[in-house]
A and B are shown apart, each in its own frame.
Chain A
């Protein structure tokens, strides 16, 4: 299973990355029973310039393209942002602005955020959850917020474990080999399938024409 961790922390070291690492270790621990988990971390700080250029150029640079591909191919995501001005950081949002809007559809996502005080914890529910709902991701019920004081208080490890368990369960469920929809494939003609291998889904032209004729 492929687990991709997107961290929008800016300082090095960053508490956002620290929370991301705790969440990913817990998720790997929960999933370990029989499953190999590949973890890839995407640090948005390293992609900041390429993300900005994607807006001006219309296409991703090489490092960003690799990160977008990793996120698209993931079986599960952990996304962590610092809270800036009562919301996710602009860099965090920008990354999800340049990814294909369908890339996250159906994907289990654990949302998490860090901040200087606990007063911003509902950012997870009011900003991150709607964003990932829009992207049609499956957001796990437990979202994890860590304020500075949480790193020395009770409760954070338990929330991390609970969220990780939810994510791992969803990933196991969704990345199991699926059986339905298999018969459809046999009907498809071989060449269309070959064309699909080039990375596109092709609707045969006759079907497109027919869709217009039906009134």
Chain B
């Protein structure tokens, strides 16, 4: 099972000091956070993609390429890559390039984006969101899997004799997750292709997450990729930890109360009661995270949100220390208990390459026979 962090990349004033970091500070902080994630033994760093203030990560592969050069093992991913408003040709090129630079330590998560104005800014229409996600992704898959592509669709200029370069590393396209919170069409899309499904449950009650994951698992099996239990599921999480639970609550409350997403709304207590947010000790985080399995089944990837709402870099790095030293080692051990042998790990470049070579060998065997 993989553990990691995902960053929204918001530039938010620290409510306890009133100070807003500069964009440069925030971007460098994201890099420092990614490096720290590797240092404390996490597996994945994912960055969001946004095209409006107060967010900085508009250019994910630039950032991930830079992080790739400064890390050795970390898998670099996105949360999410906008499959609706980005040109699928550019996604194919950018992420294949990143694959080569990062020696295959790359996957990505497709998302639609729910900021209305971003669609017209990129020449699209939010009412076509699902259709854009379906058509653009179908093209992206072909660009990575076919050397020469002739293509015509509804939303993009036609392609004749187009080859996306560089070709994917070892001819193995990056593994793709599809992120969606409430669109069954996207769970269906992920299931159809046998791709991963990431439910960003951090603002949602468990029963909703359960419904979406169950739908994806049932449809994954329907399309013949394996049993429902073998489907590739990722979940979000949101934590703030201190050794003493009351210290965690006291320190995090001003950030919670002023956070861009839920600030000035629910109480910290209600929100922790109804969503995956945990504010407390590492033991409390362990306890709550282990419960995700009860409603989502044995899953493959757990990403935590740590760096948002104006939390200072120093605090985020302390959170990563706690996560890496006290939480994730226990989660790895506990999640392994009772996990059926046939439940796979999240695909990596190595595992996909191995599978591709095995498939090729079988094909050659068939040809010889």
User: Contact residues of A with B, CB < 8 Å?
Assistant: 52-53, 55-59, 61-62, 65, 189, 191-192, 194-195, 198-206, 208-209, 211-212, 215
Contact = CB atoms under 8 A, between A and B. Distances in A.
Contacts of A202: 184, 188, 215, 219
B221 A201 contact: no
B265 interface: yes
B208 interface: yes
A118 to B, nearest CB: 39
B153 A205 contact: no
B185 A57 contact: no
A203 B185 contact: yes
Contact of A56 (B138, B218, B266): B266
A101 to B, nearest CB: 14
3 tightest A-B CB contacts, nearest first: A56-B265, A205-B192, A200-B184
Nearest to A65: B205
Contacts of A211: 131
A57 B265 contact: yes
B211 A200 contact: yes
Contacts of B203: 57-59
A198 B219 CA distance: 11
Given A62-B274, A205-B188, 7 more contacts: A53-B265, A53-B270, A56-B264, A189-B222, A191-B221, A204-B188, A208-B130
B149 interface: no
B211 A199 contact: yes
A194 B188 CA distance: 13
A194 B211 CA distance: 12
14 contacts: A52-B265, A55-B265, A57-B265, A195-B218, A195-B222, A200-B187, A200-B211, A205-B191, A205-B223, A208-B130, A209-B138, A211-B131, A212-B131, A212-B135
Prevailing SS type, chain A contact patch: helix
Contacts of B188: 202-205, 208
Centre residue among A194, A201, A212 by max chain B CB count within 10 A: A212
Nearest to A208: B134
Interface in B201-255: 203-205, 208, 211-212, 214-215, 218-219, 221-223
A215 B152 CA distance: 11
B224 to A, nearest CB: 11
B55 interface: no
A124 to B, nearest CB: 33
B266 A57 contact: yes
Given A59-B208, A195-B215, A212-B153, A201 B264 contact: no
A59 B200 CA distance: 14
A198 B270 contact: no
A137 B228 CA distance: 38
Contact of B185 (A52, A53, A62, A208): A208
B218 A194 contact: yes
B134 A198 contact: no
A192 B215 CA distance: 9
B175 interface: no
Nearest to A56: B265
B172 to A, nearest CB: 23
Given A200-B215, A208-B185, A212-B153, A191 B222 contact: yes
Given A195-B215, A212-B153, A215-B154, A56 B262 contact: yes
A199 B187 CA distance: 13
A10 B123 CA distance: 47
B77 interface: no
A201 B184 contact: yes
B197 to A, nearest CB: 13
B208 to A, nearest CB: 7
Contacts of A198: 211, 214-215, 218
A129 B131 CA distance: 34
A209 B271 CA distance: 39
Given A59-B204, A195-B219, A212-B134, A205 B189 contact: yes
Contacts of A209: 134, 138
B153 to A, nearest CB: 7
A73 B188 CA distance: 26
- Among A52, A199, A200, A206, max chain B CB count under 10 A is at A200
A209 B134 CA distance: 7
Contacts of A56: 262, 264-266
Contacts of B184: 200-202
A211 B134 CA distance: 11
Nearest to A189: B222
For A58, A61, A195, A209, the residue with the greatest tally of chain B CB atoms inside 10 Å of its CB is A195
A212 B214 CA distance: 27
B69 to A, nearest CB: 38
A59 B221 CA distance: 29
Interface in B135-167: 135, 138, 153-154
A65 B207 CA distance: 11
Contacts of A212: 131, 134-135, 153-154
Nearest to A194: B218
Interface in B256-277: 262, 264-266, 270-271, 274
Given A204-B188, A208-B134, A191 B218 contact: yes
A59 B214 contact: no
